[in-house]
Amino acid sequence: MNRERALRTLGLEKGAQADDVNRAYRALIRQAHPDAGGSTVVAARITEAYHWLQRAGAEPPQAPPPPPSPQPDPSATDKDDDSYVLRLPPGDIFARLVEAGHQLGEVSYIDRDAGIVQITFTAHNGVVCQLAATIVPMPSRASQAEARVEFTLDPLASGEAPPIDQVVARFARIFRRTNL
């Protein structure tokens, strides 16, 4: 998620202050919360945007950010059918998993502390499925942060989930296009 998307999710303009963010969050979560008859997915997206803005600060930075340092290519990975080893810090991987999840389907569950992102999507065969991605930090091999992302796939409706390797490959293509 980036600043613009978080503000858009809360229905705010670029110059929004911390008070604006708090008011918008409270108003939206009252309507979207599952206990009030709302959607878990919508409530999770609103909460994610709110928390992102709280961590980043409500005001945009005054000075332009320094140019991004060269990132290791996350596509240079070790791959199994249901996992990838990514040469990025786990926090960066988590943020990109959430963003890629929004592009694949609906992010239905996020647990930053446990490194879990669950995405609900409709597979090519019409079956509603849930893809869970879990980040497992690994000791660095070459002074770069690395983590293994392990995937599980379950159908949420009657029918058969597609092969996990096809879903993980599709998700990996989306993940490589994300740039936070």
From residue 7, alpha-carbon distances to 2, 17, 160 in Å are: 9, 11, 38
Look at the block and give the residue holding tokens 């409706």.
Answer: 157
CA distance 90 to 96: 10
CA distance 47 to 43: 6
pLDDT at position 75 = 44
Report domain 78-177's class: alpha beta
What is the H or E stretch that residue 147 is in?
strand 146-155
CA distance 32 to 40: 8
Residue extent(s) of CATH 1.10.287.110 domains in the chain: 3-56
Question: Helix (H) and strand (E) counts for the chain?
Answer: 5, 6
CA distance 178 to 96: 6
Q: What 8-state DSSP symbol labels residue 36?
A: G
Residue extent(s) of CATH 3.30.310.80 domains in the chain: 78-177
pLDDT at position 143 = 45
Torsion angle in degrees (nearest 10) through CA of 95, 100, 103, 109: -60
pTM, to two decimals: 0.55
Q: Look up residue 134 and give its amino acid.
A: T
Cβ-contact 24, 63 below 8 angstroms: no
pLDDT at position 129 = 92
Cβ-contact 115, 134 below 8 angstroms: yes
Would you tell me which CATH number, out of the four given (3.40.1190.20, 3.40.50.2020, 1.10.1370.30, 1.10.287.110), belongs to the domain 3-56? 1.10.287.110
| pLDDT per residue of the chain (180 residues) written in tens, 0 to 9 | 788 888 888 888 888 888 888 888 888 888 888 788 877 878 888 888 888 888 776 455 555 666 655 444 444 455 566 777 787 777 788 888 999 999 999 999 998 888 899 999 998 888 999 999 998 877 655 545 778 889 999 998 788 889 998 898 888 888 888 765
